[in-house]
Structure 1
Amino acid sequence: MEALFLDPFFILLIASFIGFFMAFGIGANDVANSMGTSVGSKAITIKQAIIIAAIFEFLGAFLAGGEVTSTIRKGIVDPNLYANDINIFIIGMMSALLAGGTWLSIASMRGWPVSTTHSIVGSIIGFVLITKGVDAVSWGKVGNIAMSWVTSPLFSAILAFGLYMSAKKLILDRSNPEKAAITFIPFYSFFVAVVISLVTVRKGLKHVGVEWSDNEMYLFIFVFSFVVGLATAFFLRRNQERIMQDGGIEFAFGLLMIVSASAMAFAHGSNDVANAIGPLAAIVSVLDTGVIGSKAAISPWVLLVGGIGIVFGLATLGSRVIKTVGQKITALTPSLGFSAEIATASTVVAATYLGFPISTTHTLVGGVIGVGLAKGAEHLDFRSIKRIIASWLVTIPAGAAFTVLFYILLRIIFNV
C-alpha cells in the first residue's frame, strides 16, 4: 500500500467528523420525510415528532442500514480504479461527504426538502469526473437511481391513493364511522408492523449476529405484528368515548399516525444512513485492509456515527423542512397523513430490502400527492410542488460542484 498522507488514526478521526456532518445534514433535511405529515396533520407536535424520530431513525440506521450502504459504496464507481491511488480515493470520499453535508445544510436552512440520496450520489459523481473522467462513472447504476425519480413517487402515490380510498370505504364513509374506526384501524396497525418488522428481521438482525430460518422469521413477524395490532385495539377501546365525539375519527387516525410515523422514521433511517456512512465505510475499509473495494463488513460504530448524526441534525434544524412538507403541498388530516406515510414507508422498506437506493423525499412527495388526488386535484398546491421539484433538479449538480471545490481544497491542504 502506498504511504498515507496522514497517520491512519487522524484520517479516521477527520473522516468520522465529516461523516457525522453529512449525517447531520440528512437529519436536518430528511426528518420532514418521516415526521412532516404527522406534524402537518396536527397528529403530533414538532417536539413529539423529534423525540419519536430520534428513537426510530437511530434504530433503523443501526439495525437495517447495512445493505444499502454497500450499494452506494460499490455501485456508482468501481473502487478498483483507485487501487493505486489510495490517498486520492480517501480525499475524494471526504470531499463527497463534505459536499453532501454542505448542500443539505444550505437547503435545510432555507426549508427546501431535497434528496439526500441524490446529494451524495451527485457528490461521488463529481469526484469521479474530476479524477477519472466521464467514462469511469457507472452510468448504468446512475440510470437505475434516476429511474427511481419517477418510479418511487409514482408507486407511492398509487399506494397512498389506494390506502386512503380503502380507509374512506371501510371507515370514513360508513354510517357509523366511529365504530368502524375501532374495528378496522387495528388491521392497518398490523400492516404497519409487518412492514417495519420485515426489514428488521431480514436485513437488520444479521448485522448484530442473529440468524433465523425463514419459518422463525415469519413466525416472529406475525407474532410481533399481531401484538402491535392488539395493542392498538386496546388503546382505541380505552379511548372509545373520545372517538365517539365529534372529530373522534381523526383522533383515532392520529393514534395510528404515531405507529406509522415510527415506521416511517425507521424506514428512513434504514435507507438514508447509507448516504452518510457509505463513503465513511469505504475509508474505514481502506484503512483496515489497505485495499480499495474490500468486502469487509461495515463496523457497527460506523452505523452509530450515522445514526447519532441524523438525530442531532433533526433536533436542531429539522423543523424548517417539516413545515414545508407537512403544510405546503396539501392540507392534511391524520387519515390523509397516515395513508401518505405508510405508502412511503412501504416503498422505502421495499427498496432497502432490495438494496436499491431511492429518495425518501421523492417517495413521500408522491405519497402526499396521491392522497391529495384522492381528495381532488384542486386541493394540491402546484406552485409548491413545482418549487420542490426545482430544488430536486439542482441537487445532483450542486453536490458535484461542491465536491470539485472541496477536492481541490483538501488536496492543497494535505499536499496530496
Structure 2
Amino acid sequence: METATLIVVLVIVLALFFDFTNGFHDTANAMATPIATGALKPKIAVLLAAILNLVGAFLSTEVSQTISHGIIREDQINPNAFLPLIFAGLIGAITWNMFTWLLGLPSSSSHALFGGLIGATIVGAGWMAIDYSVVLSKVILPAVLAPLTAGLIAFTATRIAYAVTRRYDTKPDGRDGFRWGQIFTSSLVALAHGTNDAQKTMGVITLTLIIAGWQSGAQTEPQLWVILACGITIALGTYMGGWRIIRTLGKGLTDVKPAQGFSAETSTASTILASSALGFALSTTQVASGSVIGSGLGRRGSTVRWRTAGRIMVGWLFTLPAAGAVGGVMAFMAAWLGGVGILIDAIFAVVVILGIYLLSRRNAVTAANAMSEVAESGTAVNVTHNPPPTRRQRAAQRAAERRQKEEAK
C-alpha cells in the first residue's frame, strides 16, 4: 500500500473513531433528562437514541458541506501536506473528547473538531488557510447565541407547562403525563443529533476524499458509503451510553422534573433542527445544557447549580484552543518528521485513548449507578441540595417513630 493511500485510510479510521466518541459523548443531550425523570429506562433510552441517530444521519447533508467546503481554504494548502493536517486535527479533537468525558463534562464535540482542524491548519499551512468569515458566522456566533436561545425557549416552555397544570401543584406526581411526552421529545432530540453531528465526520471524510483525488471537488455532498459508515459509527457510540456525562446533565445542573424535561428537550430539538436546515455546525451539547438551565430557572422552587454550570462553561471556553493546541503540536510533528512524525502522532493517539479508558475504569459509571448518585469531585459536579420530603413521606416517618416508641414501652 502506497504511503498516500495509507494516510487516507488512517484519516478515515481516525475520523470514524471521532464519530464514535461523538456518539457516547453526546448521548446525554437527548437522554439525560428522560433517564433522570424515569420516563425511559437507561438501556432502552440509549438504544432508542442510537437508532434515531442512525436515521437522522440520512436526513440532511448541509452541515457536512460546511466542513468539507467552508472552514478551510483547500486551495491555500499543498495537497500532499493536507492529509497529515486533518489527521493531526482529529487527534486534537479526540483527545479533548476523551478528557472531558473522563471528567464528566458535557463539552462540545463539534468545537473540539473545529479547534483541532483549525490549530493543525494554522501550524501546517499558515493563518491564511482558514476562512475566518465562515468560522465566525457558522461556528462562533451559533456557539454564543444557540445556548441562550435554547435556554430562553426552555424557560418559557417550562413556565407555560406549569401554568396550564397549576391545579396539580399539591400532587407530587400530578405531572407524570409529561413523562410520556418526554419519550417523544427525547426521540426528536436524538434524531436531530444525527442530522447535525454525524454530518461533521461526513464532512471530514469527504474533504479527505477530495484532497486525495478519490472524489470530484465539484461534488460537495458525501457519498452513500460515507453517510452509512458515519451513521452506524455514531449510533454504536451512542449505544455505549456515555454515562458520566448523562449523570452530570441529568442530575448535576438541576433536579429535573417531567415537565422540565419535556420543555428542555422540545427546546433542544427545535434549535438543532433549525440549525441543521441552515447549515450551522451547532454544538448539540451547548444547546442541551442551555435548555436544561433554562428549564431549571423556569420551574418555581427549582435550584440551578451554578457552580457546575460554571465548570461546564469554562470547558466550553477551553474547547477550541485546547483541541487546537493538541492539533497544532501533532501537525508540527508531522511536518517536521514526515512519516515518522505521523507514526508518533498515531502512537500518541492510541496512548491517550487507552490511558483515559483505563483511568475511567477506576471509578466506572454505568447504567446501574449513573443516576443513583452525583459525583462530588470538583472535576464533575457538586450537589448539596436535597429536595424536601413530601407530605406523605413525613406522615410515614411520624408513624414509624410512633411504632418505635410503642415497641420500646
TM value normalised by structure 2: 0.77
1:258 aligns with 2:252: no
- Cα deviation for residue 79 of structure 1 reads 1.4
Q: Which structure 2 residue ranges, 5 or more long, are not aligned?
A: 343-409
What's the RMSD between the two structures over aligned residues? 2.4
Residue in structure 2 matched with residue 158 of structure 1 by the alignment? 152
Residue in structure 2 matched with residue 383 of structure 1 by the alignment? 307
Aligned 1:16-415 pairs, distance under 5 A: 16-64=12-60, 66-82=61-77, 85-144=78-137, 145-170=139-164, 172-174=165-167, 249-289=174-214, 293-316=217-240, 318-376=242-300, 379-411=303-335, 412=337, 414=339
Contact kept in structure 1, 2:65 and 2:220, CA below 8 Å: no
> Structure 1 residues 135 and 285 mapped into 2: Cα distance closer, same or farther (>3 Å)?
closer
Amino acid at match of 1:414: G
Aligned residue-pair number? 339
Contact kept in structure 2, 1:5 and 1:87, CA below 8 Å: no
Query: Share of identical aligned residues, percent?
Result: 30
Amino acid at match of 2:179: G
Q: Which structure 1 residue ranges, 5 or more long, are not aligned?
A: 179-245
**Which piece of structure 1 moves more, 53-62 or 370-379?**
370-379
> Structure 1 residues 262 and 294 mapped into 2: Cα distance closer, same or farther (>3 Å)?
same
Contact kept in structure 2, 1:61 and 1:303, CA below 8 Å: yes
Contact kept in structure 2, 1:68 and 1:357, CA below 8 Å: yes
- Cα deviation for residue 376 of structure 1 reads 4.6
> Structure 1 residues 19 and 112 mapped into 2: Cα distance closer, same or farther (>3 Å)?
same
SS at match of 2:59: helix
Amino acid at match of 2:240: T
Q: Counterparts of 1:132 and 1:396 in 2: how far apart (Å)?
A: 18
Residue in structure 2 matched with residue 204 of structure 1 by the alignment? none
Contact kept in structure 2, 1:61 and 1:273, CA below 8 Å: yes
**Which piece of structure 1 moves more, 98-107 or 387-396?**
98-107
Amino acid at match of 1:359: S
Amino acid at match of 1:87: N
> Structure 1 residues 44 and 384 mapped into 2: Cα distance closer, same or farther (>3 Å)?
same
- Cα deviation for residue 148 of structure 1 reads 1.7
Q: Which has the higher contact order (CA 8 A, sep 6+)?
A: 1
| 1:27-84 deviation line (CA, Å, top 9, x unaligned) | 12111111111112222222121111110111112332x11010122221211112xx
Amino acid at match of 1:338: F
| 1:170-191 deviation line (CA, Å, top 9, x unaligned) | 3x214xx69xxxxxxxxxxxxx
- Cα deviation for residue 329 of structure 1 reads 0.7
SS at match of 2:281: coil
> Structure 1 residues 289 and 315 mapped into 2: Cα distance closer, same or farther (>3 Å)?
closer
Structure with the higher helix share, 1 or 2: 1
- Cα deviation for residue 406 of structure 1 reads 2.5
Runs of 4+ in 1 over 6 A off after TM superposition: none
Residue in structure 1 matched with residue 398 of structure 2 by the alignment? none
> Structure 1 residues 262 and 120 mapped into 2: Cα distance closer, same or farther (>3 Å)?
same
SS at match of 1:295: coil
**Which piece of structure 1 moves more, 267-276 or 337-346?**
267-276
SS at match of 1:32: helix
TM value normalised by structure 1: 0.76
> Structure 1 residues 409 and 303 mapped into 2: Cα distance closer, same or farther (>3 Å)?
farther
**Which piece of structure 1 moves more, 113-122 or 396-405?**
396-405
Q: Counterparts of 1:162 and 1:150 in 2: how far apart (Å)?
A: 19
- Cα deviation for residue 413 of structure 1 reads 5.6
Q: Which has the larger radius of gyration?
A: 2
Contact kept in structure 1, 2:68 and 2:220, CA below 8 Å: no
> Structure 1 residues 402 and 377 mapped into 2: Cα distance closer, same or farther (>3 Å)?
farther
| 1:376-412 deviation line (CA, Å, top 9, x unaligned) | 5861100000010011111111111121232244453
> Structure 1 residues 80 and 350 mapped into 2: Cα distance closer, same or farther (>3 Å)?
same
| 1:112-167 deviation line (CA, Å, top 9, x unaligned) | 11111111111111122112322332222222221222210111111112222222
